[in-house]
Amino acid sequence: METDQRTSLSVRRENAILVGVELRDRSVDHDAVDSLRELQALAESAGAIVKEIILQRRPRLDPKFYIGKGKVEELAGLIEQFEADVIIFDDDLSPAQLREIEEVCKCKVLDRSELILDIFASRARTHEAGLQVELAQLEYTAPRLRGMWTHLERIAGAGGGTGVGAVGGIGTRGPGERQIEIDRRIVNRRVTMLKRQIAAIDRRKIQQVRARHEHFNISLVGYTNAGKSTLMNALTDAGVHVEDRLFATLDTKTRRWNLGGADYALLSDTVGFIRRLPHHLVASFRATLEEAIHANLLLHVVDASSPTAARQYTAVTGVLKELGCGDHKTLVVLNKIDAVRDQTELQILQRKLPDALAISAHNGMGLPELIGRVREEVTGQPCKATIRLNNADGRAIAFVEKHAEVFDRRYKDHTVEMDVRIGSAILNRLRENHSAVVVQ
């Protein structure tokens, strides 16, 4: 079932017409032209061939046809002219709107969320990512199933015996009420099963992340294509996949990042964000984003060479808030500094984010400063302390010996007291995770 859906929503090698709407009362943050440009990048990342882009200015949305009946009829003409296979809307449409537009245009209609879901589906390489995408897809498309099938039924009923094929590659399937019911039952059963499997992965993932608690965990977060994976490769020997297309990374990878001396952190690469990321995706990718949720520090990578860098920054902070990590300690890095053409834009960005570090993951610019800053976070200000530990807690003693300079040690009953010079942040981690008592 789910495979049929995915095939039906795929836009690979299909001719596409993109449609966006600019409303007069849209929030100032929404720029329809810019958003359409991003939709084009998404469509092309999904393999579509963009034939035409339409921006319609309207006072308000049409509840039935979204862009108005006249405009939909105009669209139907363009579909013939460009031999288009699919229309992609830059906003999310209701199942009823999708159906109405499909009926007039006689061609496949996708909305922004469905397109993003399709990209994720084609990128999922691991079992875990596959399950997460499939759940998000089914949950998003399930309410639309009825619309899709009744639509097919109507076309077939109107004398189009081959109507199913006529709407463009939506696998052959016996239409009819019974089929709809069967499909819905299959979808519901599958959703329940996927949720169960994902919950099990979630539990495992939380355990894994907790097990790493004694280390300093850093998560790379940022807009898709900002250069997170490139930075991960520049800082560690991760060898993760890098590509100039949207959503190249769907899985997290964690590697040791040596910061000099005995200091190190664990660095994780994560899935990229985008404006108006479908909620179902954020929900299903919670396990993958668990790294970011439990990180001691977030490295927010911004593509400073993008003309929409400031908006991308805001979109990412929005998703982080949604995930409950809006208050996490964050270090912003302005990446791709080598490719910045508009220095004025960069200065505006730097004024907005005065603590951000300018770097290039490509040529290594700014990376020594980044390492220095992160090292400060990992170790904290050096201070003198006396620590009392249980004599039998070999792990804690080894931890202190590794991260601190030990001046003196005194053994009393079952404990050992050590006078040390240690970073304040390391001292805090010791307090949280070991049976240590800081005497002074």
Side-chain half-sphere of 424: how many Cα atoms within 13 Å? 6
Angle made by CA atoms 268, 272, 273, in degrees to the nearest 5: 130
- Secondary structure E strands in 26-163: 49-58, 86-89, 108-110
The contact mask relative to Mg ion for 349-378 (x = CB under 5 A, - = no) is ------------------------------
> Which residues between 253 and 292 bind ligand GTP (CB under 6 A)?
272
> Alpha-carbon distance 60 to 98, whole Å?
18
Should residue 423 be labelled a site residue for ligand GTP when binding is judged by CB under 6 A? no
Q: Which does 360 bind (CB under 5 to 8 A by kind): ligand GTP, Mg ion, none?
A: ligand GTP
Nearest to 128 by CA among 304, 226, 271: 271
- Where does this chain touch ligand GTP (CB under 6 A) — which range of 100-108, 194-202, 241-249, 406-414? 241-249
What residue number has its CB nearest to Mg ion?
249
* Residue type (1 letter), 175: P
Tokens 């639509």 correspond to: 151
Please spell the DSSP secondary structure of 139-200, one letter per residue. Answer: HHHHHHHHHHHHHHHHHHHTT-TTHHHHTTS------SHHHHHHHHHHHHHHHHHHHHHHHH
Q: How many beta carbons lie within 10 A of that of residue 159, not counting itself?
A: 7
Contact status: 339 vs ligand GTP (CB under 6 A): yes
Q: Which one of Mg ion, ligand GTP, none interacts with residue 121, CB within 5 to 8 A by kind? A: none
Q: How many helices (H) and strands (E) does the chain have?
A: 16, 14
Q: Per-residue x/- mask for Mg ion, residues 226 to 265, rule CB under 5 A?
A: --xx------------------xx----------------
Q: Choose the stretch contacting ligand GTP; rule: CB under 6 A; options: 14-22, 177-185, 336-344, 372-380.
A: 336-344
Give whichever of 97 and 335 is closer to ligand GTP, judged by the CB atom: 335
Give which of ligand GTP, Mg ion, none residue 61 binds (C-beta under 5 to 8 Å, depending on kind).
none
Please, which residues have CB within 8 angstroms of residue 207's CB and are 6 or more apart in sequence? Answer: none
Q: Tokens representing 220?
A: 């790379």
Please provide residue 88's backbone torsions phi and psi, each rounded to the nearest 5 degrees: -120, 125
What is the closest distance, in whole angstroms, from the C-beta atom of residue 209 to Mg ion in the complex?
19
163 binds ligand GTP (CB under 6 A): no
The SS3 of residue 176 is coil
Candidate residues 105, 246, 340, 416; the one interacting with ligand GTP per rule CB under 6 A: 246
Residue number, 271 or 404, with CB nearest to ligand GTP: 271
**Residue 244 in contact with ligand GTP, rule: CB under 6 A:** yes
Considering only the stretches 133-141, 220-228, 280-288, 396-404, report the one whose residues sit in contact with ligand GTP under the rule CB under 6 A. 220-228
Paired sense of beta strands 217-222 and 263-269, if any: parallel
Task: With beta carbons less than 8 A apart as the criterion, state whether 50 and 44 touch.
Answer: yes
242 makes contact with ligand GTP (CB under 6 A): yes
Stretch that binds ligand GTP, among 20-28, 158-166, 181-189, 228-236 (CB under 6 A): 228-236
Label the pairing between strands 382-390 and 415-423: antiparallel
Q: What is the number of the residue whose Cβ is closest to ligand GTP? A: 272
Q: Which residue do the tokens 């495979």 mark?
A: 3
Which residue, 361 or 436, is less far from Mg ion as judged by CB? 361
Q: Fill in the DSSP letter of residue 171.
A: -
225 binds ligand GTP (CB under 6 A): yes
Amino acid identity, position 210: R
Closest distance of CB 153 from ligand GTP, Å? 39
Q: For residues 352-411, which are near ligand GTP according to CB under 6 A?
A: 360-362
Classify each residue of 106-140 as buried b or exposed e, where b means 16 or more C-beta atoms within 10 Å of its C-beta: ebbbbbbbbbbbbbbbbbbeeebbbbbbbbbbbbb
Shorter beta-carbon distance to ligand GTP: residue 96 or 339: 339
Binding partner of 219, given ligand GTP, Mg ion, none, CB within 5-8 angstroms per partner class: none
Q: At closest approach, how far in Å is the CB of 274 from ligand GTP?
A: 9
Which residue stretch of 59-67, 156-164, 330-338, 345-353 sits at the interface with ligand GTP (rule: CB under 6 A)?
330-338
Rg of the Cα atoms in the chain: 26
For the CB of residue 291, give the shortest distance to ligand GTP in the complex, in Å: 14
Does 251 bind ligand GTP (CB under 6 A)? Our answer is no
Identify the residue among 5, 113, 141, 249 touching ligand GTP (CB under 6 A): 249
Cβ distance 173 to 164 under 8 Å? yes
Q: Choose the one of Mg ion, ligand GTP, none that binds residue 379, judging by a C-beta under 5 to 8 angstroms depending on kind.
A: none
Looking only at the bridges linking them, the beta strands covering 297-303 and 15-23 are unpaired
Query: Which residues of the shown chain bind ligand GTP in the complex (CB under 6 A)?
Result: 222, 224-230, 242-244, 246-249, 272, 335-336, 338-339, 360-362
